[in-house]
Amino acid sequence: MKNWKLFSFGLITSLVLNSCSTPYFYQLYTAEGNNIVTEGKNYVFEDQNCKITYNLWSEGGNPGFKFYNKTSQYIYLNLEESFFVLNGHANNYFQNRVFTSSSSKGATTAKAASSSSSIGATVKVEGMNAYGYRQENSAAITNYGTFYLASGTTYSKGYSVATHEEKIICIPPYTFKEIFEYAIATNLYRDCELFLYPDRNDNNKMTFTSATSPVIFSNRITYSLGKDGNQVLVSNDFFVKEIVNLPEKEVVTREYETYCGEKKTYTRKYFKQVRPNQFYILYKKSGTIWKH
């Protein structure tokens, strides 16, 4: 009986510990760029005409960039000859798309009352927390609707606007425009050196050189100073130099949200540390038997 009690206690303890363990994990990537330096919260390349700013931090990694015109002339960014290159595969920034937006107005003679209800969805909200770090939280969406108490005459009118994607983007002096389109990584990197669901003490990592890295990417950006100026090709090259799998508690923390001295009564999740040359993939523990 005594042994059974000890076994039962051990089983219960194990179940409690497993139920308390985090089901979420982060695969964290650290990249290194050629001729690119860290400047505050950004990763920056600069020449005599422009300043190109990166912040890779996002789920999957954001290789997009902010192009700032340092000169007193117009700079023309040629998207038709600009590419995001991932492991040798060139992806066009210009895709000859047509974007359509529409608007409509209507009226009715019926008496109406308004109602609101939650539609059970959340949206990702991105901003800066009290420590100056970028954060992503969820905010509830509320559905505001109108129901009619009596029928009546209804009429409406509207219009739509089609906008063709631009091959050449003009950037005025001392202003910037942002270009973003792709993600760097969408699938987990697997290796015998990486535990898939590590504990706090199993934070093993893999390091790479530019020759051995599994993820090599670049932006090939073509621009000219003035409409008739010579074209300039900028190549910002990156490689992933480190990959580590971490339990959620090593990456995020819970804090009270504050604004103008007021503090909310509940906490939210925030990233402990955000660096412009890092990005991540969030994944959940499943019933798989795989250790790596």
Domain boundaries, the chain: 24-95+166-292, 98-164
Q: Is the pLDDT of residue 29 over 70?
A: yes
Tell me the C-alpha distance between 102 and 98, whole Å: 13
Q: Is the pLDDT of residue 126 over 80?
A: no
Paired tokens of 268: 């939210």
User: How does strand 42-46 pair with strand 37-39?
Assistant: antiparallel
Q: Is the pLDDT of residue 156 over 80?
A: no
- Pick 91 or 4 by higher pLDDT: 91
Which burial class, exposed, middle or buried, applies to 244 when counting CB atoms under 10 A from its CB (0-12, 13-18, 19+)? middle
Q: Which of 22-26, 148-152, 197-201, 262-266 has the lowest mean pLDDT?
A: 148-152
What value does the CA radius of gyration of the chain take, rounded to a whole number of Å?
A: 26
45-75: b (≥16 Cβ within 10 Å) or e: beeebbbbbbbbbbebbbbbbbbbbeeeebb
User: How does strand 50-54 pair with strand 65-69?
Assistant: antiparallel
Q: Is the pLDDT of residue 134 over 90?
A: no
Tell me if 135 sits within 8 A of 128, measured CB to CB: yes
What proportion of the chain, given as a percentage, has pLDDT over 90?
Answer: 52
Q: How many CB atoms lie within 10 A of CB 225?
A: 18
Q: Name residues whose C-beta falls within 8 Å of residue 13's C-beta, 6 or more positions apart in sequence.
A: none
Q: Is the pLDDT of residue 278 over 50?
A: yes
Q: Which amino acid is at 105?
A: K
Q: Is the pLDDT of residue 169 over 70?
A: yes
At residue 291 the predicted structure's pLDDT band, cuts being 50, 70 and 90, is: confident
Please give the C-alpha separations between residue 219 and each of 9, 37, 182, in angstroms, as whole numbers.
58, 16, 11
Task: Please report the pLDDT score of residue 128 as a whole number.
Answer: 46
Task: Please report the pLDDT score of residue 60 as a whole number.
Answer: 97
Q: What is the pLDDT of residues 66-78, one digit of tens each?
A: 999 999 999 999 9
At residue 257 the predicted structure's pLDDT band, cuts being 50, 70 and 90, is: confident
- φ/ψ of residue 94, rounded to 5: -95, 125
At residue 191 the predicted structure's pLDDT band, cuts being 50, 70 and 90, is: very high
Tell me the C-alpha distance between 251 and 28, whole Å: 9
Q: What are the start-end ranges of the E strands in the chain?
A: 24-33, 37-39, 42-46, 50-54, 65-69, 75-86, 89-92, 98-108, 112-128, 134-148, 154-164, 168-171, 176-179, 205-207, 216-225, 231-247, 252-259, 262-271, 278-284
Tell me if 237 sits within 8 A of 218, measured CB to CB: yes
**What average pLDDT does this structure show over 3-19?**
45
Q: What is the pLDDT of residues 85-121, one digit of tens each?
A: 999 999 999 988 888 877 766 665 555 444 444 333 3
DSSP 8-state assignment for residue 130: T
Which of 94, 109, 117 shows the shortest CA–CA distance to 220?
A: 94
At residue 203 the predicted structure's pLDDT band, cuts being 50, 70 and 90, is: low
Q: Is the pLDDT of residue 212 over 60?
A: yes
Task: Please report the pLDDT score of residue 269 as a whole number.
Answer: 86
Q: Which of 8-17, 42-51, 245-254 has the lowest mean pLDDT?
A: 8-17
Q: What is the pLDDT of residues 37-83, one digit of tens each?
A: 999 889 999 999 999 999 999 999 999 999 999 999 999 999 999 99
Tell me if 65 sits within 8 A of 184, measured CB to CB: no
